[in-house]
Amino acid sequence: MSTATAEAGLNVQTSEGPVRGRVLGDTRSWRGIPYAEPPVGELRLRRPRRARPWRDVLDASGFGPWAPQRTRRLLPGPGPRTPMSEDCLTINVTAPKTPSAEPLPVLVFLHGGAFSSGSAAMELIDGSGMVAGGNVLFVSMNYRLGALGFMDFRAYSTPERPFETNVGLADQVAALEWVQRNIAAFGGDPDNITLFGESAGATAALTLMCVPAADGLFHRAFLQSPAAGVAYGPELAEQWAAEFLGILGIGAGGAAEALSELPAAPLVAAAEQLTDKITPDAQPGARSLAPVVDGSFLPLHPLDAFAQGKARQIPLVLGTMNNEGTLFDRFHNILPTSEERIEKMFALTEPDLRDGVVAAYKGYPHKRQAVEIGGEAVFWHPGLQVIQAHSESAPAWCYRFDYAPRAARLAGLGATHGLDLPAVFGTYGTGVGKTLVLLGNRRTAANVGHRFQSALLRFAKTGAPGPMWPKYDTVSRRTKIFDRYDRIELDPRSARRKAWNGYRGYR
């Protein structure tokens, strides 16, 4: 193939200006394209504004800056030289090396990281293999994180310095609007957008199904381990904002000036202290960096929106890991995975349900059962609430990912939170993915991952994940189990499901 042919279509005219990408292996890639104005100065803690046009060709060969966050030691990217900056609202597109004669399905991914960390540049979520093998387009983005993206400071607004809430979610809406305006120029089909994500990314995607401003911007959703209950009303959000300012030593009178002018670093540090050291003990199971049910941008709590049939009526795949809680208990202790936290969680939320729930976990308060309760309270149970409600009015499929490579099993983690990422992206050959198969199981892991990725690609192309995966309904509750050998189970963990019935958590 000639150089001219290989580089065909690298210059693309977007709605804001021309961009030039580069060929990477079997794909063409455009990275770091601004989709909104830098959210700095007067735009800090405000909803995003569309990027200003440019005339000269923009070099789109490298990822944009990571949003300000804590250390990236567990979130490796393509290079440590990629900076952190509040000027982080950029989007990336990967397309097959050879342009297609027909518009291709588009998969838009939202990265996870507890709404406080992560980036589209993480090597674990490299979509190039998916694009080259699946003949689709892959889109990823950076959005505001931490206090700058997911806290509610409206109580401290002044006429001169107004603040808005849900700005991190609004960033994602702005990026999806950019996709609608521009993806056809890259060879994508704007009428076939599948939104998918993992952890906080899946939580955000689920929440966007309930956000009026996102209506029509995506047509399917594939959600990996969403924490569907992680959205809260103004009372809790205001409490956490006050505690955040208290950590910084700032009173209400000086809040507007401080929030406008402080560097990002102390805001990141204060958010870390609040979310990792204070909230998990004060409100176990809650997350103080989260979407806010503000009555306008997010009119209803997502669980209520799904229960009332008011979420977007689109095809939905949703699943969780077999051992969600073990990762957090071992490395990131923010879940209610101890007896003390579990008892306080029930005391603050649903004390009348406590006895029935813990009785469904034989052996509690043994550590293993406590970890299971914590993981299933945050991920499995609320996810099940979503899928069973959605199945009443729209196509819905449910899965559980049970496969764990030998290294994860020997570490006592099992099929824990996040282990589906190298599976769905086919990234067992790099970084964290490679570590998981160092002790063996590389071929089996790759096979499981291929089946999982294939289900996503079929879903993106056809609206269904495959003929061997029946829809979910509230009678049989058929659930796909991804493991060394896949299977369908009827109403898995039915005793636990019934015990959790009625639990609402924090609102």
Place of tokens 């109403």: 491
CB atoms within 10 A of CB 494: 12
Selecting among 16, 177, 198, 324, the annotated active-site residue is 324
Q: What is the 3-state secondary structure (H, E, C) of 223-237?
A: EECCCCCCCECHHHH
CA–CA dist 118, 476 (Å, integer): 37
The contacts of residue 183 (CB under 8 Å, 6+ apart) are 93, 106, 137, 139, 189, 190, 193
Strand ranges (E), 83-155: 90-96, 104-110, 137-141
Q: Would you call 485 exposed, middle or buried from its count of C-beta atoms within 10 A (0-12, 13-18, 19+)?
A: exposed
Token pair, residue 142, equals: 């950076």
CB atoms within 10 A of CB 2: 7
Place of tokens 């003390």: 340
CA–CA dist 266, 246 (Å, integer): 13
Selecting among 199, 288, 338, 391, the annotated active-site residue is 199
Token pair, residue 185, equals: 């120029």
Bridge partners for 167 per DSSP: none
Asked if residues 247 and 216 have their Cβ atoms less than 8 Å apart, the reply is no
Q: Is 140 a catalytic residue?
A: no
C-alpha distances (whole Å) from 333 to each of 8, 114, 325, 337 are: 49, 12, 9, 8
C-alpha distances (whole Å) from 149 to each of 38, 164, 213, 296 are: 13, 10, 17, 17
C-alpha distances (whole Å) from 203 to each of 48, 134, 207, 302 are: 20, 25, 6, 10
Q: Is 338 a catalytic residue?
A: no
Q: Is 332 a catalytic residue?
A: no
Estimate the share of the chain in helix, then strand, then coil, as percent rounded to the nearest 5. Answer: 40, 15, 45
Asked if residues 312 and 210 have their Cβ atoms less than 8 Å apart, the reply is yes
Q: Can you spell out the DSSP letters for 431-465?
A: HHHHHHTTTS-HHHHHHHHHHHHHHHHHHHHHSSS
CB atoms within 10 A of CB 355: 10
The contacts of residue 309 (CB under 8 Å, 6+ apart) are 389, 392, 393
Q: Can you spell out the DSSP letters for 376-427?
A: IIIIIHHHHHHHHHHTTTS-EEEEEE----HHHHHTT--SBTTTTHHHHHT-
Catalytic residues: 199, 324, 417
